[in-house]
Structure 1
């Protein structure tokens, strides 16, 4: 969709982090993507969904450096900084959905 290399690199990095979270913390899930065309402005939207345990404390999970595992605590917050739009919906015991958008 016409993204420059630096934009693609940011998107791929965010996707890698979110895919890893979906597998490691969500027990697996799905990812859907769509090409966006907003009156000539092109972009990609990706949605990651799992039916895992959800995130019990969303505010804490979106704090730089906090981790529920053995990582560096930059997955969600890092992914959020690498995209133009970031939305996270979670219900403890039911799962998590993260939607990201990066515009070209």
Structure 2
């Protein structure tokens, strides 16, 4: 499997670039239009969080295979302030920005697997995957 392609997030435009990278990868892998949209929306939300809360970071998109199944993996990494309480930010309706985004719980619902690792003062890594049916 390829190593993946990364988008550096530093601006609003970079969020669009990351979203397009994820959608194009999913399309090339044969994901249907609905799953392509789900993946793109999740990546938009995660990249926006990098920009808003950490200022800069990366979104890496790669094809993966596990037990004969193909999927897409997105790894979002930053060296921002970290998340003090992951349980709170994973509650529906929680927002620190008062934005209209769906937040991390919404991004999680759009993907098949979703993991957060975060340490205050060090940064956050979110890994999510969508499997082809």
Could you state the TM-score of these two structures normalised by the residue count of structure 2? Answer: 0.74
1:66–1:73 contact (8 Å) kept in structure 2: no
Of the structure 1 ranges 68-77 and 24-33, higher mean CA displacement relative to structure 2 is found in 68-77
* Corresponding residue pairs, total: 104
Local SS of the residue matching 1:19: helix
- Find out whether 1:37 has 2:58 as its counterpart: no
| Bigger share in helix | 2
Q: Distance in 2 between matches of 1:22 and 1:6?
A: 25
Q: Could you report, residue by residue, the CA deviation over 1:62-83 in whole angstroms, capped at 9, with x for unpaired residues? A: 1110111121462200000000
After the TM superposition, list the runs of 4 or more consecutive aligned residues in structure 1 that deviate by more than 6 angstroms.
Answer: none
Give the corresponding residue for 1:28. Answer: 56
Q: Could you report, residue by residue, the CA deviation over 1:36-78 in whole angstroms, capped at 9, with x for unpaired residues? A: 1235422100100000101111111111101111214622000
Relative to structure 1, is the Cα distance of residues 39 and 3 closer, same or farther in structure 2, using a 3 angstrom cutoff? Answer: same
Give the corresponding residue for 1:47. Answer: 75
Q: Please, which runs of 5 or more residues in structure 2 have no aligned partner? A: 1-28
How is 1:7-86 mapped onto 2 (pairs within 5 angstroms)?
A: 7-72=35-100, 74-86=102-114
Q: Please, which runs of 5 or more residues in structure 1 have no aligned partner? A: none
Give the corresponding residue for 2:9. Answer: none
1:64–1:73 contact (8 Å) kept in structure 2: no
Higher RCO, 1 vs 2 (CA within 8 Å, ≥6 residues apart) = 1
Give the corresponding residue for 1:100. Answer: 128
